[in-house]
Structure 1
Amino acid sequence: MIYGIGTDICDIRRIRATLERQGERFAHKVLAEGELAVWRRRSERWPDRGVRYMATRFSAKEAFSKAVGLGMRMPMTWRNCEVINLPSGKPGIRLHGELATWFEAQGLTAHITVTDEVDYAASFCVVEKL
């Protein structure tokens, strides 16, 4: 049974401007540890790919927060929600801390997709009750 659906579109230019102003501080606010490592590797080698990676993660977390109906309030936090790539390349959600505990107690599972184009990143999330 569908518990919730969320979608988000993110202006990559806005993320780029925020990163230019705040740099690592913004990255530490939004990205979980695993994502932070990927962002750093991509940013060092291809700065534009780092920005796009950040935008897709930002968008995916917004879509997830809408699908679970919490918005950005506890137990939902930027860093407790991690967007991963499964071995197949398909994006997935890995939760941490209180958010993981809450999500499991609700009997929920999430499906996420992300995409990006020149100026925008977009995500769509469906959360099911098992």
Structure 2
Amino acid sequence: MSKIGIDIVDMERLTPQMVDRIRMRVFSKSEISEMEALRNPRRRIEYFAGRFAAKEAFFKALGIGIFNAYLDQVEVLADENGKPVIKVSNSVKNTYLNEYGNFLVSISHDGHYAVAVVLLEK
């Protein structure tokens, strides 16, 4: 059986200062490095919103809230082609993902919204 989660973020509610303040709690070092490589403040907000939506969608697919897990232990990084991929820590894998080995994620931006869909497959 597969599981799916979806989340949407209104980017108009985010400011560069807010993103800088909370990124350390929700992003891994690798995600922070990817975001800091972006020079445009608007692009940083888009990056943050898309990755945050993907993490929310991931935990929704699992059927648990984001406050029950460590957000920085679920990474949403770009592969060599720029496509987002999910990487999870062994702790998250052992606690929540015994039967799921494949995680697919899609992130999209339109106007002031970022949306993400995550599919967990056996």
1:65 maps onto 2:64 in alignment? no
What CA RMSD, in Å, does the superposition of the two structures yield over aligned residues?
1.7
Contact kept in structure 2, 1:108 and 1:127, CA below 8 Å: yes
Contact kept in structure 2, 1:15 and 1:54, CA below 8 Å: no
Unaligned segments of structure 1, at least 5 residues? none
Which deviates more, 58-67 or 82-91? 82-91
- Residues 85-116 of structure 1, C-alpha deviations (whole Å, 9 max, x = no match): 11222211011241133355334321100011
1:102 maps onto 2:73 in alignment? no
1:52 maps onto 2:46 in alignment? yes
- For normalisation by structure 2, the TM-score amounts to 0.88
> Counterpart of 1:105 in 2: which secondary structure?
coil
Counterpart of 2:84 in structure 1 is 91
Q: 1:116 aligns with which of 93, 109, 112?
A: 109
Q: Distance in 1 between matches of 2:29 and 2:89?
A: 11
Residue identity (%): 30
- For normalisation by structure 1, the TM-score amounts to 0.83
- Residues 4-32 of structure 1, C-alpha deviations (whole Å, 9 max, x = no match): 1100110001122xx42x45330101111
> Counterpart of 1:53 in 2: which secondary structure?
helix
Contact kept in structure 2, 1:111 and 1:126, CA below 8 Å: yes
Aligned residue runs from structure 1 range 73-84, under 5 A:
73-74=67-68, 76-84=69-77
The alpha-carbon distance between structure 1 residues 23 and 8, as it changes in their structure 2 partners (threshold 3 A), is closer
> Counterpart of 1:70 in 2: which secondary structure?
coil
Q: Distance in 2 between matches of 1:101 and 1:15?
A: 33
Counterpart of 2:33 in structure 1 is 37
Which deviates more, 91-100 or 46-55? 91-100
Unaligned segments of structure 2, at least 5 residues? none
Deviation at 1:35, TM superposition (A): 0.5
Amino acid at match of 2:117: F
Counterpart of 1:5 in structure 2 is 4
Aligned pairs, how many? Answer: 122
Contact kept in structure 2, 1:8 and 1:123, CA below 8 Å: yes
